[in-house]
Amino acid sequence: MTHHAPRFTFDNSYARELDGFYVPWEGDKVPEPRILLLNAELAQELNLDVDALDSDEGAAILSGAAAPEGAETLAQAYAGHQFGGFSPQLGDGRAILLGEVLDRQGRRRDLHLKGSGRTPFSRGGDGKAVLGPVLREFVIGEAMQALGVPTTRALAAVTTGETIWRETPKPGAVLARVAASHLRVGTFQFFAARGERDRVRQLADYAIARHDPELAGRDDRYLAFLRAVIARQAALIAQWMHVGFVHGVMNTDNMTISGETIDYGPCAFIDSFDAKAVFSSIDHGGRYAYGNQPVIAQWNLARLAETLVPLLHDNQDAAIRLATEELENFPEIYSAHWLAGARAKIGLLPREDDDDLGFVNALYAAMAGQNVDFTLFFRRLPQAAEGDETPLTDLFDDATAIREWLPHWRERLAQEGRDPDERKAAMEAVNPVYIPRNHKVEEALTAAETDADMGPITRLLEVLRAPYEEREGLEEYAGPPPADFGPYKTFCGT
486 binds, among ligand AMP, Mg ion, none (CB under 5 to 8 A by kind): none
- Kindly state whether residue 298 participates in binding Mg ion, applying the rule CB under 5 A: no
Phi, psi of 370 (to 5 degrees): -105, 5
Selecting among 212, 253, 274, 283, the annotated active-site residue is: 253
Q: Are 62 and 35 in contact (CB under 8 A)?
A: yes
Strand 74-76 versus strand 34-38 pairing type? unpaired
H helices of 194-220, in order, are: 197-211
Q: Which part of the chain contacts Mg ion (CB under 5 A), choosing from 121-129, 253-261, 306-314, 337-345?
A: 253-261
Q: How far is the CB of 183 from ligand AMP (least distance, A)?
A: 15
**Neighbour tally for 365: CB within 10 Å:** 12
Binding to Mg ion (CB under 5 A) within 113-152 occurs at: none
Cβ of 24: how many Cβ atoms within 10 Å?
Answer: 11
- Round to whole Å and give the CA distance between 389 and 377: 11
Contact 252, 303 (CB under 8 A): yes
How big is the site for Mg ion, counted in residues (CB under 5 A)?
2
494 contributes a contact to Mg ion by CB under 5 A: no
Q: Which is nearer to ligand AMP, 172 or 259 (CB)?
A: 172
- State which residue, 84 or 125, has the beta carbon closest to ligand AMP: 125
Question: Looking at the chain, how many residues does it have?
Answer: 494
Residue 492 binding result from ligand AMP, Mg ion, none, given CB thresholds of 5 to 8 Å by partner type: ligand AMP
User: Which is nearer to ligand AMP, 61 or 249 (by Cβ)?
Assistant: 249
* 152 touches, from ligand AMP, Mg ion, none (C-beta below 5 to 8 Å by class): none
Element (H, E) at 186: helix 185-193
**Shortest distance, position 34 Cβ to ligand AMP, whole Å:** 21
Instruction: Provide, rounded to whole angstroms, the least separation between the CB of residue 75 and ligand AMP.
Output: 9
| CA-wise closest residue to 108 among 38, 167, 47, 60 | 47
Of the pair 76, 272, the CB lying nearest ligand AMP is at: 76
Distances in Å between the alpha carbon of 295 and those of 85, 155, 457, 484?
16, 32, 34, 33
- Which CB sits closer to ligand AMP, 9 or 163? 163
Given ligand AMP, Mg ion, none, residue 493, with its beta carbon under 5 to 8 Å by kind, binds: ligand AMP
Closest residue (Cβ) to ligand AMP? 125
84 interface partner picked from ligand AMP, Mg ion, none, CB below 5 to 8 A per type: none
- In the chain, DSSP finds a helix count (H) and a strand count (E) of 19, 12
93: partner contacted, choices Mg ion, ligand AMP, none (Cβ within 5-8 A by kind): ligand AMP
Q: Which is nearer to ligand AMP, 92 or 389 (CB)?
A: 92
Distance CA 189, CA 485 (A): 40
**Cα 489 to Cα 438: distance, rounded to the nearest angstrom:** 10
Nearest distance, CB of residue 32 and ligand AMP, angstroms = 20
Q: How far is the CB of 300 from ligand AMP (least distance, A)?
A: 13
Cβ proximity of 363 and 346 under 8 Å: yes
Separation between Cα atoms, residue 133 and residue 123, nearest integer Å = 21
Considering only CA atoms, which of 76, 63, 83 is closest in space to residue 13?
A: 76
Q: How far is the CB of 344 from Mg ion (least distance, A)?
A: 31
Instruction: Point out which residues bind ligand AMP (CB under 6 A).
Output: 90-94, 121-122, 125-128, 249, 253-254, 263, 265, 492-493
Stretch that binds Mg ion, among 64-72, 257-265, 354-362, 486-494 (CB under 5 A): 257-265
Q: Which residues of 276-301 are buried (b: 16+ CB within 10 A; e: fewer)?
A: ebbbbebbeeebbbbbbbbebbbbbb
263 binds Mg ion (CB under 5 A): yes
Nearer to ligand AMP, 253 or 389 (CB): 253
- 307 contact, one of Mg ion, ligand AMP, none, CB 5-8 Å limit per kind: none
Of residues 139 and 399, the one with the C-beta less far from Mg ion: 139
Pairing of strands 34-38, 80-82: unpaired
Q: How far is the CB of 76 from ligand AMP (least distance, A)?
A: 10
Closer of 190 and 405 to ligand AMP (Cβ): 190
**Phi/psi at 13 (5° precision):** -70, -35
The listed partner (Mg ion, ligand AMP, none) that binds 64, CB under 5 to 8 Å by sort, is: none
Question: Shortest gap between Cβ of 124 and ligand AMP (angstroms)?
Answer: 8
Q: Are 338 and 387 in contact (CB under 8 A)?
A: no
Minimum distance between the CB of residue 121 and ligand AMP, rounded to whole angstroms?
6
Residue nearest to Mg ion (CB): 263
When asked if residue 254 is in the footprint of Mg ion (CB under 5 A), the reply is yes
Residue 126 near which of Mg ion, ligand AMP, none (CB within 5-8 Å, type-dependent): ligand AMP
What secondary structure letter does DSSP report for 353?
Answer: S
CA dihedral 27, 32, 37, 39 (to 10 degrees): 50
Active site residue 253: yes
- The β-bridge partners of 34 are 159
CA distance readout (Å), 86 to 199, 251, 356: 19, 10, 39
Q: Which residues contact Mg ion by CB under 5 A? A: 254, 263
- Return the active site residues: 253
